Structure 1
Amino acid sequence: MPIADFEEDSGDRQFVTALSRGLALLRFLGNGEVLGTTDLARLSGLSNATVSRLCYTLGNLNYVEYLPEVGKYRLGDACLALGYLYMANDLVSHVARPLMKELAGFSHVPVCIARRYEDKMLYTARESVEDQFSLKFEVGSRVPIERTAMGHAYLAGLDDAERQEVLDLLKSKIPDLDSFRRQIDDNVALFREKGFCIADRMWLSHIRAVAVPLRMRDTGNVVAFNCGGIADYLDPGFLMNEVGPRLADLVRKVESILEAQSPSPKTEE
Structure 2
Amino acid sequence: MITTNELTKTFTDRKRGSVRAVEGVTLECRQSEVFGILGPNGAGKTTLLRMLATILQPTSGTATVAGYDVRSQGQMVRASIGYLSGSTAPYDRLTPREMLAYFGALHGMDRSAVAERTREVLEQLDMQEFADRRCERLSTGQRQRVNIARAVLHRPPVLFLDEPTAGLDVLASRTVMRFIRQCRDEGRTVVFSTHIMSEVEGLCDRIAVIHRGRLAALGTLSQLRERAGGGSFEQVFLRLIGEDDA
User: Based on CA coordinates, which of the two structures has the bigger radius of gyration?
Assistant: 1
Higher RCO (CA < 8 A, seq sep 6+): 2
Structure having the higher helix fraction is: 1
TM-score strictly above 0.5: no
Q: TM-score, normalised by structure 2?
A: 0.29
